[in-house]
Chains A and B, each alone.
Chain A
């Protein structure tokens, strides 16, 4: 790791001032002048240190956000919505009684991410903004399309962990497992700009696929800070479930993960379903076919199975990742039954 200057922001205003000097953190095959000039605002630092150790980032200044108390709180808003500060750790999310009771799939997704040691440090904000884990993106020897190069090496290369949907010029999968659950719950992110202006954007719209921007995974503007994630108040009859499948029983990135949120009526019929696939596409993939297959239906093995098949319709797997299709189908079916309490 190269040297850098270190400062701690005592409050949001100080962080915004520091962030306004942010040069877009340009990734380069070899760190170039742009990457070397960047000011980086650091949350837990897990991905940042990875990128620096891999030689992909060499910031001149790092601003630590850990000392800002308002970013570290989980609070219920009037009306029942939940506001989760960007610096809340994955371990806090997994263990929070309110999240476990009302947004179970989020607690499951956070608790199944990475290792216990990483969950104690990694934050929700950092988790959402981490860079992709594609091995070509992470290699300084591959000048890939996402780093401004001419090609995506995954298309003709080792693509067993890559996307099966939406590979428009780049085949990454979104690295955040928490995002899978958050999109299923229709969560939003709160963003504060350099002049203090706040805006709220649906997470689903905040995360950008390569067809929108090949080099960035989100719509964070220069100098802007992601301050919180907002979860809508739970409707009566909402139940949720998250499942992940790794290649190992031990900790690893999921090869597939699925979040299901069901709004069940008193008659047991599904009023509305959210079905989202993680590690499937460059952004969390909302399986609209599965959602409409479940609407109005009573949940049973048969409906879950049809919805799972509908979820994978239109998949475009690459040479080495077609195995993901049946894995996802099994996870979608089990997660639907899990959410309905029939697992």
Chain B
């Protein structure tokens, strides 16, 4: 089949990529750009480890054709912070010991960011946080500390501008 050009903004940077129409966004991020923070597992939108932000909203990159993001903005975990400048969610996950094996954590943090940015300036309930994270599975922690971390980050982020 014929390759085509994809224009996409990833973590604020413009990319012009040559893709096959049947590649998913996940395949482009990991295989073509080499950003390994976005994880790969079930490939059918059940586990959430491949979650990225599309125009700020959490989506499963495993079930999104790359062609669907033409001209749009993607944020991956690499675009959130770095070890010197952690995003409040990243800092809270570390402080609350919310990470065990770590495989779900990029998806978990981006799911939480999407939710908190959609509900700015107010403290969500624990039940709301659980529902917001329902599309992202963790097989280590039992979720308790993850919910603690998101609640703490929400408090820190409340009233502040959404971070990139």
* Chain A interface (Cβ < 8 Å from any Cβ of B): 1-6, 8, 45-46, 49-50, 53, 62, 64, 66, 91, 114-118, 120-121, 250-251
Contact = CB atoms under 8 A, between A and B. Distances in A.
B22 A117 contact: no
Given A45-B68, A117-B60, A121-B59, A6 B21 contact: yes
Contact of A4 (B1, B45, B54, B137): B1
Contact of B132 (A2, A3, A116): A116
Minimum-distance CB pairs A-B, first 10: A115-B135, A3-B1, A6-B21, A120-B57, A251-B134, A117-B135, A117-B60, A49-B63, A1-B22, A117-B58
Given A2-B22, A8-B70, A117 B65 contact: no
B57 A115 contact: no
B10 interface: no
B90 interface: no
A64 B21 CA distance: 11
A4 B115 contact: no
B64 interface: yes
Given A3-B21, A4-B1, A117-B51, A49 B135 contact: no
Contacts, number: 80
B20 interface: yes
B20 A3 contact: yes
Contacts of A117: 45, 48, 51, 58-60, 111, 135-136
Contacts of A114: 135
Interface residues of B, number: 32
A45 B132 contact: no
Interface of B: 1-2, 4, 20-22, 24, 43-45, 48, 51, 54, 57-60, 63-65, 67-68, 70, 111, 114-115, 131-132, 134-137
B21 A45 contact: no
B65 A49 contact: yes
Contacts of A53: 43-44
Given A116-B131, A117-B48, 6 more contacts: A8-B70, A50-B45, A53-B44, A116-B111, A121-B60, A121-B63
A252 to B, nearest CB: 9
A6 B4 contact: yes
Contacts of A2: 22
Q: Determine which residue in A5, A46, A49, A64 has the highest number of CB atoms from chain B within 10 A of its CB, and name it.
A: A49
B45 A118 contact: yes
Given A49-B65, A53-B44, A251-B134, A120 B22 contact: no
Q: Determine which residue in B4, B24, B45, B63 has the highest number of CB atoms from chain A within 10 A of its CB, and name it.
A: B63
B64 A45 contact: yes
A117 B4 CA distance: 27
10 contacts: A5-B2, A6-B4, A62-B21, A62-B65, A66-B68, A115-B45, A116-B132, A117-B45, A121-B54, A121-B60
A46 B41 CA distance: 17
Contacts of B45: 46, 50, 115, 117-118
Contact of A120 (B54, B65, B67): B54
Contacts of B70: 8
Nearest to A118: B45
Q: Determine which residue in A5, A117, A120, A251 has the highest number of CB atoms from chain B within 10 A of its CB, and name it.
A: A117
Contacts of A50: 44-45, 63
B158 to A, nearest CB: 20
Nearest to B71: A67
Nearest to B143: A250
B70 to A, nearest CB: 7
Contacts of B4: 6
A116 B115 contact: yes
A318 to B, nearest CB: 26
A6 B4 CA distance: 9
A134 B152 CA distance: 41
Contacts of A8: 67, 70
B64 A116 contact: no
A163 B134 CA distance: 26
A2 to B, nearest CB: 7
B21 A4 contact: yes
Given A46-B45, A118-B60, A5 B68 contact: no
B1 to A, nearest CB: 4
A45 B136 CA distance: 20
